[in-house]
Homo-oligomer: A and B are copies of this chain.
């Protein structure tokens, strides 16, 4: 259980602020203190404005709770526009860039009462060239990417909730590497106005938190889904174990994480079946690479024309690959992906969710490589909602997650299943830090 204010979940904090048990200002101060203490090592933030956040918190404390996130601090990935904080996109091309408007997701969160604590470090343009963020569990290891700062800040108890984006595996992989809950909703359900596109037909705004209920709360605000109180605990969860065509190359801890989650679920009464994906789904990886690189090349058309020297070698390679693909081949990849989405639907008819491998092993050592996106990218291309939950520790003591996957638009079912796995089956979600992380005790 949380023993300091900065360890509270967003749901708990919002409830207690609305009740008057805690003040938003104290919560924000606790998060800022934790950040001040840890940021020199973790480097999760691209921009912070403590005074602005504290002023917003005092204003929240002076008014009755008007929205479900009233007074709750959040982090925003730095490829998402903010009108009062610079948006640097992890690129020198946008150093100090100040957008005119908040992205729609930011405006909607603010309208629900949330307080933007700051912008979190992103890989360059939500791609694969990492920023300075370290994994809070082991500073010699990557936090994953591209939503590196959001994952690290949430894992390190600097903030209870943060937005990320996923084009390949940029939410779920860092969430798994940092031992928190990552969620990528159904493609198209969160408005992307004000997001710098990586690859437009894949980019999905997602969330990171330490509790699936916080994700459901954020989803309620951003997609007008029913409030998390209405999340139904499934009576008898039907889980399809889906090892995917990638299983053969999965590390031992990836397999162990899935087996562990499956065993806990079975012991808690879930009904398990094995589900195989059609053989041609193995081609989805190549289709995703084509779509990703063509769309990256186009999304960066202005930067390519005007600031090519300031683009990383990794991104240059992707853009150049994109330029080598014909329009016809790109359209064929889009159509292939669409047909696969339709082929997936009947496979999911007999189950509530799929349980699938999430990442290939623990967070690798070094900060230069944010990890392999293939285990997450498959589902991103399929546009389905997917959540990662910490499941086990790997051979180096690092968290390793599993992912739950649902039918398109069944986002709440996926989150309900995640909560069931944690609460009923005992899967260790919301990995606790070894000792209390904050100095601001929760008032009795």
Contacts and interface: CB of A to CB of B under 8 A. Distances in A.
A141 B42 CA distance: 62
Contacts of A193: 196-197, 200, 298-299, 301
Contacts of A342: 342
A368 interface: no
Interface stretch (A14-22, A184-192, A420-428): A184-192
Contact of A188 (B106, B300, B301, B334): B334
B224 A409 contact: no
Interface string A9-46: 00000000000000000000000000000000000000
Interface in A312-333: 325-328, 330-331
A94 interface: yes
Interface in A217-258: 223-226
A94 B295 CA distance: 28
B101 A303 contact: yes
Interface string A201-226: 10000000000000000000001111
Nearest to A225: B327
B191 A301 contact: yes
Given A192-B197, A197-B193, A200-B188, A104 B409 contact: no
B192 A200 contact: yes
Contacts of A197: 191-193
A195 to B, nearest CB: 9
Which one of A105, A189, A300, A331 has the highest number of Cβ atoms from chain B below 10 Å of its Cβ? A331
A157 interface: no
Given A107-B301, A188-B201, A342-B342, 16 more contacts: A83-B306, A101-B303, A102-B305, A104-B298, A104-B301, A108-B301, A110-B305, A188-B200, A189-B331, A191-B197, A191-B298, A191-B301, A193-B196, A193-B200, A224-B330, A331-B409
A186 B201 CA distance: 13
Copy number in the complex reads: 2
A106 to B, nearest CB: 8
A256 to B, nearest CB: 36
A301 B196 CA distance: 17
A205 to B, nearest CB: 11
Nearest to A82: B302
Interface string A84-128: 000000000010010011111111101100000000000000000
B108 A298 contact: yes
A302 B224 contact: no
Nearest to A191: B298
Nearest to A326: B224
A191 B299 contact: yes
Contacts of A301: 102, 104-105, 107-108, 111, 191, 193
22 contacts: A83-B306, A94-B100, A103-B302, A104-B300, A104-B302, A105-B301, A106-B302, A107-B304, A110-B305, A111-B301, A186-B331, A188-B201, A188-B334, A189-B331, A191-B197, A192-B197, A192-B200, A193-B200, A224-B294, A224-B326, A224-B327, A334-B409
A335 interface: yes
A194 interface: yes
B100 A305 contact: no
A295 B342 CA distance: 24
A189 B102 CA distance: 26
Contacts of A103: 302
A399 B179 CA distance: 63
Nearest to A410: B331
A27 to B, nearest CB: 23
A191 B186 CA distance: 21
B305 A107 contact: yes
A444 B298 CA distance: 39
Interface in A377-417: 409
Contacts of A304: 107
A226 B225 CA distance: 43
A43 B34 CA distance: 57
Contacts of A303: 101
